[in-house]
Amino acid sequence: MRTPRVLALGMTLLVLVGACSTGCGTSSAPSTAPSVVAPSTAPSTAPSTAPSEPASEAPKAPIKIGSDNFYESKLMGEIYAQVLENAGYTVERKFALGSRQQRIPIMDAGQIDLVAEYVGSGLGFYDKTKIGSDGQANADALQAAVKSKGLTVLGISPGQDSNAFVVRADTSTSLNLTKMSDLAAVQDQIKWGLPADCDTNPLCAGALKDYGIKYPPKQRKALGACDVPMATALSGKAIDLAELCSTQPAIVQFGFVTLDDDKKTQPAENIAPIVRDDYLAKVDAAAFKALLDAASAKVTTDALTQMGKDVAIDQKDVADVAKAFLTAQGLLQ
């Protein structure tokens, strides 16, 4: 599973503090030998009828793609790698670099060129005060934060991996729970699974209070957020509500219901590639961006969750899962 994310509650496996450094591949466009033109016998004023030489294709410099040390970060890196390889780029994978704190200095040093970043947690690394529930706003603020470092944030995915409160399907049906606002009326009937640090975490206790929950709840069990024991306890009915992460494979595995955060209390964690500007200067930047934006646009929360199940539970190879996804989306030839 994942390493803990800066904004996730507790030591969550879905929470990223993870990392991507940049390594800059370099290449130059191949030189072409000068064409030899036979002397013309026509008057010098006659227009030339020789066909013009076609414009050379923009260079595709080799690229180094990094990832943090959890499967979802590797999966997104692999998705971007395969899209670029399909377009003729040479990709070097430098996955599992560590946490975000470890990865950022690697990218700053130019050892990788691109990484998939969660815009909320990524922004939080630089300025926690600007994090909000709008993914594009977080991406824009992150861009402002990294501009001076020579980095560009590309388009965000519609899907995100954020903090989530989930219940079993039977609980959702019996108590009519579909959104967080539904909890206040039935809060004393629920056995709550919450991380130990919920008391001091504004994204946990603070969020619950925003929904009219009397904190702490009467029936509470302390478990790690986004961790296997939390999901196991929910499945086994030791608890009725758990804090997980929104793309945690257990949600698909056990058919849990994610409650809608209708008051938008949690930071948006959409995913976007961050690329070094000195790499973009070597390629057709607009074409490069279009390739990755097209891939990001297909990455929904449901797709991330299903791919997470394929990798973490069904033990499928990350590259195979990425290829199957891209092929189904028509992004691989």
Domain count, the chain: 2
Same domain? 136 vs 202: no
* 241-245 and 163-167 beta bridge pairing: antiparallel
Final residue of a domain: which of 226, 258, 290? 258
C-alpha triplet 109, 160, 308: angle, nearest 5°? 90
Same domain? 183 vs 241: yes
- Please state, as a whole number, how many other Cβ atoms lie within 10 Å of the Cβ of residue 38: 6
Q: What are phi and psi of 14, to 5 degrees?
A: -105, 0
pLDDT at 32 > cutoff 90? no
The domain that contains 80 carries what CATH number? Answer: 3.40.190.10
Final residue of a domain: which of 258, 286, 313? 258
Tokens of 9: 């509650």
The domain that contains 252 carries what CATH number? Answer: 3.40.190.120
Provide the b/e sequence for 201-231 (b: ≥16 CB within 10 Å).
bebbbebbeebebebebeebeebbbbbeebb
Same domain? 170 vs 244: yes
Residue 3: closest CA among 123, 104, 96: 96
Distance (Å, whole) CA 39 – CA 31: 24
Domain that residue 148 falls in: 63-160+267-328
pLDDT tens digits for 202-232?
889 999 999 999 999 999 999 988 888 999 9
CA distances in angstroms from 260 to 12, 164, 264, listed in the order given: 20, 8, 9
Structural domain includes residue 58: no
Per-residue pLDDT at 302 = 93
pLDDT tens digits for 295-314?
999 999 999 999 999 999 99
Average pLDDT over all residues of the chain: 85
Give the residue-averaged pLDDT of 144-151: 98
Structural domain includes residue 43: no
Structural domain includes residue 55: no
Same domain? 156 vs 183: no
